[in-house]
Amino acid sequence: MLHRFLALFAVSCSLTTVLALPGAAEAVGQSFVVNSTADPGEGLCDQTECTLREAINAANANANGTDVDTISFAIPGGGIQTIAVKDSPLPSLSGYITVDGLTQPGAFCIPGNRTLTVEIRGDAVPDAAGLTATGPGVTIRGLVINRFGPTGYGIKLSNGTTVTCSNIGTNAAGTAALANGIGIYGESVGGFTIGGSTANGNVISGNTFDGIRLVSVSQGVLAGNRIGVSATGSALGNNSFGVSLLNTDGVTIGGADESARNLIAGNGASGVRISGISGHDNIIRGNYIGTADGSTERPNGLNGIEIIGAYQNDIAGNVISGNAANGVVVQDSTAASNEIIGNIIGLKASGSGNLANAANGVLIDNAPMTLVGGNTESDRNTISGNGSNGVYVNGPFTDGVRVSGNYIGLNSAGTAAQANQANGVFVTGGALASVVGNVISGNGVVSDDLTPVAGVRVTDRSWLGMGSNVIGLAADGATVRANRGFGVLIEDSGSNSIGGLDNGNTISGNSDGGIKIVGPLAQQNVISFNYIGTDATGVMAKPNSGPGIAVLDSSYNLISSNVTSGNQGPGILIEGATSVSNDVDLNIVGTVADRSAALPNAMGVDVVGATNTNVHRNIISGNTGDGLRIESGASRTTVYENRIGTTDELGTVSLGNTGNGVAIINSWGSSVVSAIAFNGGSGVTVVGETADQNVISSNIHSNNGRGIDLGANGIDSDDQLDADTGPNQGQNFPIVTMAVPGTLTVVDWSIHSKPLTKFTAAFYASPGCDSSGNGEGARWIGVSMVVTTDSSGNGIGTAVLSGATLPGEIITAVATDLDGNSSEFSPCREVSPVGGDNPPPTITTFWPHYLTRGQDTVISAAMGTGFIPGVTQLRWNGEPRETTVVTQFFLQATILASDLTVGNAPFYAQVTVSNPGPGGGTSAALLVLVRSRADANCSGPVAGNPSGVSPEDALHILRIIAGNAIPAPDCDPNADGIGGTTPTVADALYVLRVAAGLEPLP
């Protein structure tokens, strides 16, 4: 009994706080001083000897509640003191214990410098943990823990464990590997801190497997550590992952402050791995991953960061560069809603200078709802300099991915190219993604048919929505930073949307072209509201080296409302025998965005061998070559309501294409109905023996060449029976034999062509004729009915056309057979009235045949001859009235209400028509009846009764009163002019008194 008491007393004397004797108040935190490197020791922690094992046992035995026991060190001798654990693992730390190696003389840990002098090694217990916490509130500080392996742990965590200023898996200097199996391990714990800041972070390197492995943990922090690199920043990798999180939540790796930065580099596998379908809401922020200093490559052996199956994790503000595979990987269908924001991926920490991840910057593989970037500058990732793609999106479960607001292929200032070696963004494998608000430029090193690259590439039945990106220019939207290949490449993928109202892209400066759509599965893509070949304002040329938009062997695509100008190839190219039913609609091709000046493409629109292409309502002007070329067997191309060489609807603004307006070359079935003017060549030229069945019905004028030129050989004279061949079968042009002006124009015309063949003729008016004598056609005024030639090949017709003409204008015509072969323009015919310039008119008919006193203004019509627009006037009782001449034989005039109230009705007015001189004259008068309002039954006047009232009028009024009749539509039953419109007895009496001569007419 005495011996036991003495032992207890000896222990108590070694403590800074004296242990209470039995029966005293509850013990508080104590300090146990390790003074020996021996293990296991004699069993007691006393002044004579206190080993680490004995100190742990003593601390565990102390009933300290939540007060903290401290195990400090005062091992005699200088240098590193090594505690070699023997025979069995050290006891667990049961809770509220601090093991502080910095208390050993000579040890210190300050920012940028440390000396550790207490080493715990586990060669003899390879499956054990160096230190194991089993209770809360354990702190491990300033220790070197190594050689607990190959299957042991350096430290095993518990709830609330803190590990600082320690080297786990290295020598005391932190420069050489002395591996544990795993550096730090925690399972089903939370609230722990590993490091805290760069001032008290750990070196966790050189371990056989992971540096840190956490399983099903919650709410922990890893900050300020070196994981996979030495204390001096050289590679000292953990052989597997730097940090591995399995089914964890709320773990933070790093932090917003620079002092929280972890250096995670040089590891054998990935720098950080987050996995497990229950893993979520972990944060990786502010770390260097793949580099130890932000500028020197220290590659992790696989990826910088990988998220496999875990969801709602954030990767923010890191430098993720220099890794042996990808910068970031997000993989698996359960890995949903992860965010990658504000990182530098593939460059140095300065944001300039390559520090490449060897594969992709970001790989998203079957992981839905991943966000790369965001809407603010702080969300922006710089993803550049990587060995393959900037962002690679793959797999059918990759739905709802959004790549937004990033610089991809540029430095972090958005000014200089830092190429990703392949594509800026690559979407494939059936993935669905949106790419919005990025600058994607400077990407691609080599592009060819075997390894095509682009700023943005989508393949393999994937879907992409793109808006508000700049592709091929710097962030200023003006400086060229070309992507190799096309700006956007769509291969065998359908229903993609590139641009949109208020979401257009600027796709310019790229080394091959702007947008390329290729392959039979690349259908129903929509390219709209983009600037292609210009700067972001649509004013300056920033040429794509090839076409602005190219559709190759692809069908049912819509190209609409783009500005496609300044390109070194065609503005728009539709090519391939399997390119069917593509629509080119409402684009500006060859001018600045406001259409005020030319910004030429090498050609406007080129349709090569395609079928059923629709070119509708575009402005195709200012281009260096032809405005529109249809060639190489293209068929059934519809060219409708375009402005080619001009920019306004009337074709008055000159902005011509240097070549032809439209060139049809060995192609058939085209229909050209557009305004084509001011071009350097012909308005429309048709070339090639197979160029048949092309209908040309356009407003064509002011072109330097012919209006329509079949064969590009000048005027083709009409030949006998139209026996020649060639473009449009060498169709003979018609002859206009008479053209009479008016609101409706009347023409006589003839044609000599193939016998027994049906033709129509389209007619045009122009202010003048070409010097050749065959005109163009500035204004379409109508088309004739079908005329059939006789057995001699002759046909004649008369047409009343809906378009108005004036004397002195020029009429031309284009004949088209029912197969669709249109001719050149006919010789010119001046519009002139029949009988000379100003014949005397006649009037034969006036409508309505009679009027009624008291009517409002009446629009009347007259027929006769010699009516001239702007000249002929209808006169009412000698006074001119407002007159509109519709044809030479028909006019309309306004009869005023006051014309119908003068004098007593009924009366006859004299109606004449006149053409003022010189020449002209006035017609004979036509009498028009104005009836009395007393003519109640609308029967008109009775012979011999100048009052116009008959007994039938009285009878009609009486029948109305009796309910046996209703008023006639244009008769007024209120005969006496008093009261409302309902007839009364007074009306009947009045009518009878008028008939008896007892009352005057009303």
Question: Distance (Å, rounded) from C-alpha 1002 to C-alpha 1000?
Answer: 6
Which uninterrupted H or E stretch holds 53? helix 52-61
* Residue 102 forms part of a structural domain: yes
| CA–CA gap between residue 589 and residue 646 (Å, rounded) | 11
pLDDT exceeds 50 at position 767: yes
662-665 contacts at long range (C-beta below 8 A, 24 or more positions apart): 662/626, 662/627, 662/628, 662/629, 662/630, 663/626, 663/628, 663/629, 663/630, 663/631, 663/687, 664/630, 664/631, 664/691, 664/694, 664/727, 665/629, 665/630, 665/631, 665/632, 665/691
Assigned domain for 802 exists: yes
Q: What is the CATH number of the domain that holds 737?
A: 2.60.40
Q: Give the range among 322-326, 403-407, 738-742, 967-971 with minimum mean pLDDT.
A: 967-971
Does pLDDT of 967 surpass 90? no
More confidently predicted of 904 and 874: 874
Q: Tell me whether residue 866 is in a domain.
A: yes
Any idea what the CATH number is for the domain that residue 167 is in?
Answer: 2.160.20
Residues 274 and 136 in one domain: yes
Q: DSSP letters along 655-679, please? A: ---SS-SEEEES-B--EEEEEEES-
d(CA 727, CA 771): 24
Number of domains within the chain: 5
Say if residue 14's pLDDT is above 50. Answer: no
Task: Examine the domain organization and report whether 268 and 203 are in the same domain.
Answer: yes
**Do the domain assignments include residue 189?**
yes
For the cut 80, the answer to whether the pLDDT of residue 835 exceeds it is no
pLDDT of residue 239: 98
DSSP state of 721: G
Residues 199-211: what's their mean pLDDT? 97
pLDDT for residue 945 is more than 80 = no
Same domain, 785 and 879: no
Question: What share of the chain in percent tops pLDDT 70?
Answer: 89
Pairing of strands 558-560, 583-585: parallel
Same domain, 925 and 940: no
Question: 927-953 b/e with 16+ CB inside 10 Å = b?
Answer: ebbbbbbbbbbbbebeeeeebbbbeeb
Query: What is the amino acid identity at position 770?
Result: D
Q: How far apart are CA 864 and CA 661, in angstroms?
A: 44
Average pLDDT of the segment spanning 241-260: 98
Q: Which of 930, 948, 963 is the last residue of a domain?
A: 930
**Lowest mean per-residue pLDDT among 222-236, 589-603, 976-990:** 976-990
**Mean pLDDT estimate for the chain:** 91
Residue 791 and residue 897 in one domain: no
Q: What share of the chain is helix, strand, coil (3-state, %, to 5)?
A: 5, 35, 55
Q: What is the per-residue pLDDT for 856?
A: 83
- pLDDT at residue 933, rounded to an integer: 56
Q: Facing residues of 876 across strands?
A: 879, 911
CATH of the domain at 916: 2.60.40.10
User: Does residue 61 share a domain with residue 95?
Assistant: no
Residue 1: band (very low, low, confident or very high) from pLDDT cuts 50, 70, 90: very low
Q: Are residues 113 and 242 in the same domain?
A: yes
Separation between Cα atoms, residue 477 and residue 506, nearest integer Å? 8
The candidate with the shortest Cα–Cα distance to 427, out of 489, 378, 384, 346, is 489
Residue 651's beta-bridge partner residues?
none
Contact between residue 543 and residue 577 where contact means Cβ atoms under 8 Å apart? no
**pLDDT bracket for residue 11 (50, 70, 90):** very low
Write out the residue range of the structural domain in which residue 103 sits.
77-304
Q: What is the mean pLDDT of residues 514-536?
A: 98
Decide which of 930, 948, 983 is a domain's last residue.
930
Q: Are residues 50 and 91 in the same domain?
A: no
pLDDT confidence of residue 241: 99
pLDDT tens-digit readout, 487-507: 999 999 999 999 999 999 999
Residue 330 lies in a domain: no
Residue 19 has pLDDT above 50, yes or no: no
Is residue 887 pLDDT above 90, yes or no?
no
Q: What pLDDT shows up at residue 285?
A: 99
Secondary structure class of 937 (helix, strand, coil) = coil
In a domain, 185, yes or no: yes
pLDDT in tens, 91-141: 999 999 999 999 999 999 988 889 999 999 999 999 999 999 999 999 999
Amino acid 849: pLDDT: 79
Which pLDDT does position 24 carry in this prediction? 38
Given pLDDT bands bounded at 50, 70 and 90, which one contains residue 895? very high
Residue 954 has pLDDT above 80, yes or no: no
Mean pLDDT, range 675-696, rounded to an integer: 93
Hey, what are 174's tokens?
Answer: 């932190």
Q: Find the helix or strand (DSSP H, E) in which 954 lies.
A: helix 951-962
Structure tokens at 824: 């050149």
**114 and 238, same domain (yes or no):** yes
Domain end call among 798, 830, 862: 830
Contacts of 879 (CB under 8 A, 6+ apart): none
- What is the rounded end-to-end Cα distance, in angstroms, of the chain? 150
Q: Are residues 919 and 979 in the same domain?
A: no
Record the pTM: 0.84
Q: What is the amino acid identity at position 750? A: S
Same domain, 12 and 121: no
For residue 351, being part of any structural domain is answered with no
Rounded distance between C-alpha atoms, residue 660 and residue 623, angstroms: 10
pLDDT for the residue numbered 997: 65
Which of the four pLDDT bands, split at 50, 70 and 90, describes residue 962?
Answer: low
Between 575 and 23, the higher pLDDT residue: 575
Q: Assess whether 891 and 944 both reside in one domain.
A: no
Residue 836 falls inside a structural domain = no
